[in-house]
Chain A
């Protein structure tokens, strides 16, 4: 199957879409989106703890996206610089935060292993892993040893899914779906 970004974007926009974006992922954009979404959540959700959970996960998801986008090398493609997608959608009583970005194929194996490990852990094990990484791992400006993903898994009881779609022999499109 050939790669079609519009198709993938469409697939990500299922449910009652509160916000959908496709384009350059910049710090300013994230700041603006967080502001807009916070206002929106205040209107649609009463329970403060639910609002906070969604907002927290959105911050982690978008900042993860911001830090981990790989740019496609050829300037001939039509993608914006630092291209990424994100969608916030409501499905029944649940909220889904979906992100998508290009990633080098040689990173896939490690990322898959990290997801599978995190998804296999119990709540208590996730808590211990979080504390271990927090206390022991070196951090860079990009974040800290997958702490963002562990944090998301903790807050959602592991309801984090992912899929890779091959773009070419060097790159794939990585999509993540977090359910709250």
Chain B
């Protein structure tokens, strides 16, 4: 299946979805007015990928900002990953947050408590 690579903008993140390596990355900011449109191809790609995933899927989420419009879409991404894990594949989620950004750490903990995959919380120190 195809890989997806989306260049970041001031309002949308850089996205890289690689079926060959099983690496999923979302980095940057996610603050569009309407997020559903932006995340649709990502969620659809994960749906396709879940029919034949790598043994190990590594997910790197490194967001500087995200708005509440994006938060539901990001949860949809995690729910797809939860499905992959439920089908007995390994899924590792790395949640990056900047030093002192407690809100972002807490946002990761919120997601972690909703989906049943443990997160690795990784603090980025300048």
Chain B binds chain A: yes
Interface mask (A36-65 → B, CB under 8 Å = 1, otherwise 0): 000000000001110011011001100100
A134 & B65 in contact (Cβ 8 Å cutoff): no
A170 at the interface (CB under 8 A from B): no
A148–B72 Cα distance when bound, in Å, is: 11
A139 & B36 in contact (Cβ 8 Å cutoff): yes
A155 at the interface (CB under 8 A from B): yes
A147 at the interface (CB under 8 A from B): yes
Please judge, given known A-B contacts A48-B100, A60-B67, whether A134 and B75 are in contact too, CB under 8 Å.
yes
State which of B31, B64, B72 has its C-beta within 8 Å of the C-beta of A144.
B72
Q: Which of B37-67 contact A (CB under 8 A)?
A: 64-65, 67
A35 & B10 in contact (Cβ 8 Å cutoff): yes
Q: Which of B1-28 contact A (CB under 8 A)?
A: 10-11
A48–B125 Cα distance when bound, in Å, is: 12
A30–B102 Cα distance when bound, in Å, is: 26
Interface of A is mostly: helix
Please judge, given known A-B contacts A53-B103, A56-B103, A130-B110, whether A30 and B68 are in contact too, CB under 8 Å.
no
Residues of B in contact with A (beta carbons under 8 Å apart): 10-11, 31, 33-34, 36, 64-65, 67-69, 71-72, 75, 98-104, 106, 110, 113-114
Extra contacts besides A59-B67, A131-B114 (9): CB < 8 Å: A27-B33, A30-B33, A34-B31, A48-B98, A49-B102, A52-B103, A53-B103, A130-B110, A139-B69
Residues of A in contact with B (beta carbons under 8 Å apart): 27, 30-31, 34-35, 47-49, 52-53, 55-56, 59-60, 63, 66-67, 127, 130-131, 134-135, 139, 141, 143-144, 147-148, 150-151, 155
